[in-house]
């Protein structure tokens, strides 16, 4: 309970800091909104999903991918924030306090999760304005829609631990931002987020179908009532909800362990 308390205190500290720098939240909202508009109206008319090139079909297909991209791109800000604290010497101050070693990192990732949830809420409203329509909203389907957003946030939280490890491994916030983004582009684009993976070259399609990012996107589509993709034999595409949960939990377990170990070595 002491470790949980310490983590909540650090999360509160990071949330207060975010509210005092509103540009961080504003710029975090602008980028995903731009992606929604650009992909919907610039590329939407030329995209084929299944056998359809209808723009409305692509809108419903696209939004789960945009949501997933948004939550994973929070990785870069998480890594940059931790690197900034390291660079300014705040980590050394935290070391002198009687607190759990992992609380600094857990507090940071929880605060980033809260910010990501707010961004996702605004983005969902924008998506509704441009024509995204999840399945008919009764009590059962509404629970599934919430479950889809829950899986997206779980993936985002898992990826922030990757960002935490990157932030602890570099010397400057600029390097953390670059290092946090450079690997995200192949992860998000070699996937089923923006195109039907069945249209890809076979070897690339297999990578996309086993990509943890693709599993969460497909799980969200399924829970939103829009499976969208052509049938696939890959296990993550046949059982996307389970695959999404398993992938996210494994990423959290692995990278939290590595990040806390790195923090302890850095602070020793």
pLDDT band at 11 (very low <50, low <70, confident <90, very high): confident
pLDDT at residue 268 is higher than 60: no
According to the model, what pLDDT value does residue 136 have? 55
User: Mean pLDDT for the chain?
Assistant: 83
Judge contact between 162 and 78, C-beta under 8 A: no
Judge contact between 134 and 224, C-beta under 8 A: yes
What distance in Å separates the CA atoms of residue 177 and residue 8, rounded to the nearest whole number?
A: 25
| pTM (global) more than 0.95 | no
What distance in Å separates the CA atoms of residue 52 and residue 60, rounded to the nearest whole number?
A: 12
pLDDT band at 208 (very low <50, low <70, confident <90, very high): very high
According to the model, what pLDDT value does residue 48 have? 63
Q: DSSP letters of 173-226?
A: HHHHHHHHHHTHHHHHHSSSSSS-GGGS-HHHHHHHHT-HHHHHHHHHHHHHT-
| Helix H or strand E encompassing 171 | none
According to the model, what pLDDT value does residue 263 have? 84
pLDDT at residue 58 is higher than 90: no
Residue given tokens 């497909």 in the structure block: 218
At residue 220, φ and ψ (nearest 5 deg) are -65, -40
CA-angle at 73, arms to 53 and 45, nearest 5°: 15
Q: What is the pLDDT of residues 131-162, one digit of tens each?
A: 888 865 455 588 889 999 999 999 999 999 99
pLDDT at residue 9 is higher than 90: no
Domain limits, the chain: 2-267
What distance in Å separates the CA atoms of residue 149 and residue 137, rounded to the nearest whole number?
A: 15
What distance in Å separates the CA atoms of residue 87 and residue 167, rounded to the nearest whole number?
A: 10
């Amino acid at each position: 309970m002491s470790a949980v308390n310490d983590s909540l205190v650090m999360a509160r500290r990071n949330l207060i800091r975010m509210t005092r720098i509103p540009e961080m939240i504003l710029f975090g909202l602008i980028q995903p909104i731009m992606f929604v508009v650009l992909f919907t109206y610039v590329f939407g008319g030329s995209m084929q999903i299944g056998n359809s090139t209808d723009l409305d079909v692509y809108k419903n297909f696209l939004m789960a991918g945009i949501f997933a991209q948004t939550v994973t791109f929070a990785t870069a800000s998480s890594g940059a924030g931790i690197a900034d604290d390291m660079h300014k010497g705040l980590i050394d101050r935290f070391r002198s306090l009687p607190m759990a070693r992992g609380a600094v990192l857990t507090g940071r990732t929880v605060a980033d999760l809260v910010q990501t949830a707010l961004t996702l809420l605004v983005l969902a409203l924008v998506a509704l304005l441009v024509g995204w329509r999840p399945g008919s909203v009764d009590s059962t389907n509404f629970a599934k829609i919430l479950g889809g957003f829950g899986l997206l946030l779980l993936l985002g939280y898992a990826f922030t631990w990757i960002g935490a490890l990157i932030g602890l491994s570099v010397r400057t916030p600029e390097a953390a931002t670059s290092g946090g983004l450079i690997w995200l582009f192949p992860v998000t684009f070699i996937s089923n987020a923006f195109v039907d993976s069945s249209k890809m070259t076979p070897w690339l399609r297999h990578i996309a179908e086993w990509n943890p990012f693709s599993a969460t996107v497909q799980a969200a589509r399924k829970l939103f009532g829009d499976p969208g993709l052509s049938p696939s034999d890959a296990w993550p595409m046949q059982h996307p909800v389970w695959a999404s949960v398993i992938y996210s939990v494994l990423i959290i377990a692995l990278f939290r362990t590595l990040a806390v170990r790195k923090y302890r070595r850095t602070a020793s």
